[in-house]
Structures are given as C-alpha cells and as structure tokens.
Amino acid sequence: MKKYLLLSILAMMLFFVACGSGENEEEEEATEASGSGSDSSDSEDVASDWEPEESIEIVAPAGAGGGWDTTARMAAQVFSEEGIIDQNIGVVNKEGGGGAVGWAYIAGFEGNPHKLFVASPPIIFIPLNGQSEYSYEDFTPISNLIADYAAFAVREDAEWDSINDLFDDMKEDPESITVVGASSPGSMDHMQFVQIAKAAGVDISKIKYVSAQDGGGLTQLLNGSVDVYSTGVAETVEQVRAGKIKVLGVSSEERLEGDVLEDFPTMIEQGIDETFINWRGFFGPPNMEADALAYYEAKFKELSDSDAFAEIRKQFGWEELYLTSEEYIQFLDEQNESLGNLMDELGLGN
C-alpha cells in the first residue's frame, strides 16, 4: 500500500513540474513575440507622448539684434503664436567669446530637455581656433532651420562699383584695404570674406581684417575708418535703403527675393564661382534623451513648414534649409572638414 501511495505522490509531482514548465515556456514565447517586453512598449509610449513640462529657454550666444538673437526670437514667436508649442518660451542672451560663453552655459545642463540654443558656423570656427573648449560635437544637434548669406558692403561714395573692382585692387595691394566684421579673427565675418576672396585670386594671407565685436563695424565703415564691411545681408538693407552704403556682392547661388535684396548681385553672376552659407539651426545640451530630440525635431519641421515663418524668412532674406538631426550631424561633419582646411591655410587652426 505504501508503495502505491509513494508512486502516486511521485506521479503528481511530475505532473505539476511539467505544467509549470509549460507555463514558463508560454511566457517566454509571448515575451519574444512582443520584442523586449513591457520596457519596450513603455519606451515607445514616452517617445511619442513626451512634451516639455516647464518653460523652455532658448539661448542666443550673442547680444541683442544679431543673427542668432533674431533667429531665436522669431522662432520663439512663431512657436507661440501658431500654437506649435504650448509651453512658455523665453529667449536669453549669453554673449561673449564669439559664442563660447553661451555654449559653456548650455554645457552645464546636460540632458536637460528645456534648454536649447541657436548656432551657426562659429560653433565650428571658434573651437577650431582654440577659443572654446566646446564644439558642435559636445551638444545635441536638433534641426537646421535657415540659410543666411554674406554681404560685402562699402560706402555709397566708395570707388568700387562691383566686387571685381574691389578684388582687383586687393590683388595688387591687399594690405591697403581694411575689412571689418563683427566676429573675431578666424570666425564668421572674417572667414566668409576670406573664402570668397580666395576664389577671386586674392592672397588671403595678406588680407587686413579688424574685429568690431562691439557692433561698431558699420559706424567704422561710414566714418571712413575701414573700407569694406563683411556682414549678413539682413544687416545691410536699411542702410542701402537710406543711401549710405552699397552692397558689392552677396554669397548666395542666386539673387535673393525681396525689396532691396533683389538688387544685390551675387558673386557667381560676377564671375566668382563661390558661395558661402551662413546656416543657422538649433541644438540641445549634451546627451539629450531620444524622446525629447524627436519631439523638438518634429516641432522645428512644423515651424519651418508654416506660412508664418515663411513670411519671416522673406522679411530677413533667409532661405529655407531644414535638416533633420541625422542630416544635420552629417552636414556639420562636412563643414568642419572644409572650414578647418581653410583656417589651416591661414594658420588659424588650433
């Protein structure tokens, strides 16, 4: 009897073990069929539903009124007025070091999805010439938004009526002509002039460039302290309209649209086969989470596609140049290589 009882108990134990094993196998199969289980579905929900939980701060790493400041404020304005982003958006200026002060500020907010900043070629130039420890590689590229272009202006009564007239004199005696810009040597206003001048055959190692980082470049041009003003097209319109300066050339491929802007000749139509793009886009702090990046990438695309921002582009002579985060990273790597080579030629590389 005891023998039969023992066999019955053993049989029951084997039955329960087999049932438990089958349930575990079914659970494992269900898990494999769903990918990585509940963690994956939770992550996907967060990625699609994430929204900012507090006010957003956009940093313009320069003073009020310049290209960074204007781009940041116009983007914030359209985000709010068109209801693209519901959270409050504030723009703050962190000027100094050609952008380096603002970049250092943002670097202190690693992973914070409520801190953004606007940038352009100086985020490549400044680190390359050793004036900042931070480069584009230290941040999270979100989206490029616009393309702006260089304009080279002289006083209305200057002897030059075309960019070739100016460059012909610079080929003969480059040091007799002084170029002024708002950026430091080795940064935007300097390098955009150098790139075009090189294509025209000027000895770029002898170009005399002075920096007016206090914003006094136009004043120096008008009082005769300098000969040429290297700047952005938007900064010349009112002075051209007032009859105080004339623009010898702009660095776009084709003539720009808009009042006054359409009268500015390109370098290409004057026989200089070169352009310079002052791209401008937005970045987040280091190591921004993928869900926040996806949110902002989509919002900047919506901004770029809006009629309201199209009007702003027309007003400032900007062209649309939207890039996704992935496209932006590739573009920045290419810019870093080409602009770095130009700086090395001038002996300005770090």
Tokens of 90: 């504030």
315 and 173 part of one domain: no
- Domain range enclosing 221: 149-277
Nearest alpha-carbon partner for 269 in 288, 246, 251: 251
Write the DSSP assignment of 54-87 as a string of letters.
Answer: S-EEEEESS-TTSHHHHHHHHHHHHHHHTTS--S
- Residue 317: left (phi > 0), alpha (psi -120 to 50), or beta? left
Phi and psi, residue 284, nearest 5°:
-110, 175
Nearest alpha-carbon partner for 75 in 96, 93, 90: 90
136 and 255 part of one domain: no
183 and 237 part of one domain: yes
CATH of residue 140's domain is 3.40.190.150
Which helix (DSSP H) or strand (DSSP E) does residue 274 occupy?
none
Residue 50 falls inside a structural domain: no
CATH of residue 171's domain is 3.40.190.10
Q: What is the mean pLDDT of each run of 10 residues along the chain (350 residues)?
A: 39 42 42 36 48 96 89 98 97 93 98 97 92 96 96 98 97 95 90 96 95 87 97 93 98 92 97 96 97 97 98 91 98 94 84
How far CA 347 is from CA of 128, 196, 331, 342, 344, in Å, comes to 11, 18, 24, 9, 5
Tokens of 89: 């958006």
239 and 333 part of one domain: no
Residue 30 falls inside a structural domain: no
Instruction: Give the alpha-carbon dihedral of 140, 146, 120, 53, to 10 degrees.
Output: -40
Looking at the DSSP assignment, which residues form a beta bridge with residue 119?
A: 281
Q: What is the C-alpha separation between 335 and 116, in angstroms, rounded?
A: 21
Residue 83 falls inside a structural domain: yes
126 and 211 part of one domain: no
Phi and psi, residue 254, nearest 5°:
-130, 165
Residue with tokens 């810009």: 181
Residue 350 is predicted with a pLDDT of 66
Residue 28 falls inside a structural domain: no
191 and 139 part of one domain: no
Q: What is the C-alpha separation between 292 and 140, in angstroms, rounded?
A: 11
Residue 29 falls inside a structural domain: no
The total of structural domains in the chain comes to 2
Tell me whether strands 89-93 and 178-181 are parallel, antiparallel or unpaired: unpaired
Residue 318 falls inside a structural domain: yes
Residue 125 falls inside a structural domain: yes
Q: Tell me the three state secondary structure of residue 210.
A: strand
Q: Tell me the three state secondary structure of residue 285.
A: coil
End-to-end CA distance of the chain: 93
Q: Tell me the three state secondary structure of residue 230.
A: strand
Q: What is the C-alpha separation between 124 and 136, in angstroms, rounded?
A: 7
Residue 3 is predicted with a pLDDT of 39
Residue 8 falls inside a structural domain: no
Nearest alpha-carbon partner for 137 in 119, 159, 114: 119
Residue 317 is predicted with a pLDDT of 85
Among candidate residues 277, 302, 336, the one where a domain is terminated: 277
Among candidate residues 277, 311, 333, the one where a domain is terminated: 277
Nearest alpha-carbon partner for 67 in 150, 169, 153: 150
Identify whether the C-beta of residue 307 lies closer than 8 Å to the C-beta of residue 339.
no
256 and 162 part of one domain: yes
Among candidate residues 277, 297, 318, the one where a domain is terminated: 277
Q: How many residues are given for the chain?
A: 350
175 and 88 part of one domain: no
308 and 247 part of one domain: no
181 and 226 part of one domain: yes
Residue with tokens 């409520």: 114
Phi and psi, residue 150, nearest 5°:
-80, 150
154 and 262 part of one domain: yes
Looking at the DSSP assignment, which residues form a beta bridge with residue 153?
A: 229, 247
142 and 161 part of one domain: no
Residues 6+ apart with CB under 8 A from 181: 188, 189, 190, 193, 209, 211, 212, 217, 229, 230, 231
Tell me whether strands 115-119 and 56-60 are parallel, antiparallel or unpaired: parallel
Identify whether the C-beta of residue 116 lies closer than 8 Å to the C-beta of residue 297.
no
